[in-house]
Amino acid sequence: MSENTKKDLFYEHGLRFQCQGSGKCCTSHGEFGFVFLTKDDRRRFAKHLKVTTSAFTKKYCDQTNGIWHLKEDKGNPDCMFLKNKGCSVYEARPNQCRTWPFWPEVMNAKAWKSEVANFCPGVGKGRLWSKEEIEQEMSKDRENERKLLGGL
């Protein structure tokens, strides 16, 4: 990253974010529709639901281009685990959900404003996440993506 890019980060002084439990992030927003799952995600879900990983995968998952994701109901853009505007499996939620809203693909000023702040009521609220914490979350998201692409 060039010195100018580092200096110009819109989150240089941190961002305020605290989940408000609105469930809006659990509804499909264009390209962010799939909830992708690593093997660890599927194991965590299975343990939480008290089923085998194989049973969880068969009942709740599909594969697209070799990558596992939660099944989607074409008539309903909401995550299947969204109940009463809340995540019914919060403790078992996948890494993709754990790192929201600090995904690398939305961590520029334009995308943050149009793809996050415009619909997520948690933006601007709660504690101040430091630049270092934000970048740590983005790093977790990138590692998750590597696992997904590696078939883990």
Residue at 56 is within a domain: yes
- Number of domains forming the structure of the chain: 1
Residue at 19 is within a domain: no
Per-residue pLDDT at 30: 58
Res 34 pLDDT > 70: yes
Residue at 85 is within a domain: yes
Res 31 pLDDT > 60: no
CA atoms within 13 A of residue 110's CA, in its CB half-sphere: 0
**Which range, of 39-43, 47-51, 143-147, averages the lowest pLDDT?**
143-147
At 37, the pLDDT band (50, 70, 90 cuts) reads very high
The pLDDT of 103-126, averaged and rounded, is 93
Closest CA to 42 of 57, 59, 64, 62: 57
pTM of the predicted model, to two decimals? 0.83
Residue at 77 is within a domain: yes
Res 112 pLDDT > 80: yes
Q: Contact at 8 Å (CB) between 111 and 105?
A: yes
Residue at 37 is within a domain: yes
The pLDDT of 103-122, averaged and rounded, is 93
Residue 127 to residues 17, 19, 78, Cα–Cα distance (Å):
6, 10, 27
Residue at 1 is within a domain: no
Domain limits at 95? 24-149
CA distance 17 to 14: 10
Residue at 61 is within a domain: yes
Please state, rounded to an integer, the average pLDDT across all residues of the chain.
89
Res 142 pLDDT > 70: yes
CA distance 38 to 63: 11
Q: Contact at 8 Å (CB) between 144 and 96?
A: yes
